[in-house]
Amino acid sequence: MTLEELEILCREGESNNFYYELACLAFQNVPMDTFVPEEGDDIVITVIGVDNGQIKHRWPLASHAHPSDWAYHFRGISDGDTNPGCTSAALGNCRCWSLYGIHSSQLGNDVITGRLRAAAPSTGFVIVEIFHSHHLLVSVFNIGDFIPDPIKTQVYTIFPVPAGEPE
């Protein structure tokens, strides 16, 4: 899907694809005219199901693809429900959905599990990571490798999604 096609989809709101809808929500905070996939800009989405402080599921699975998804959207390896190969040392193994297939999730299972409490109730949550190349407004102060232009940024947010809660 091109950026223009996504912009039309976001404007018309005619999709039942969870991942495209989340990408549209992310674009409410990133002006589309500054989002350039050729410079490494991307949106990465992961859904996690947690029970007793442990990851029980990490989605998406390519086998559950929406008809409008392309193969490049699905990153990571198919190694079971919990995606145990997804570690900070092997982030390329982490299952996630990538809008342009450029980036993988930068949050390994070990990092996520380290932030969970065992006494917390079962829950599901979604992680949305935005990779964006931010150009300097004035290049006068560009001092080579110390302050590159563009500056590569990565931000993420985590919020609940009841559909991800383990049964």
Domain map of the chain by residue range?
A: 3-164
CA-closest candidate to residue 113, choices 166, 49, 161: 49
* b/e 144-166 (16+ beta carbons within 10 angstroms → b): eeeeeeeeeeeeeeeeebeebbb
pLDDT (tens digit per residue) in 34-56: 888 899 999 999 999 999 999 99
Residue by residue, pLDDT tens for the chain (167 residues) are 677 777 888 888 777 888 888 988 888 887 777 888 899 999 999 999 999 999 999 999 888 887 777 888 899 999 999 999 999 999 999 999 999 899 999 999 999 999 998 888 899 999 999 999 887 776 666 566 677 777 888 999 999 999 999 98
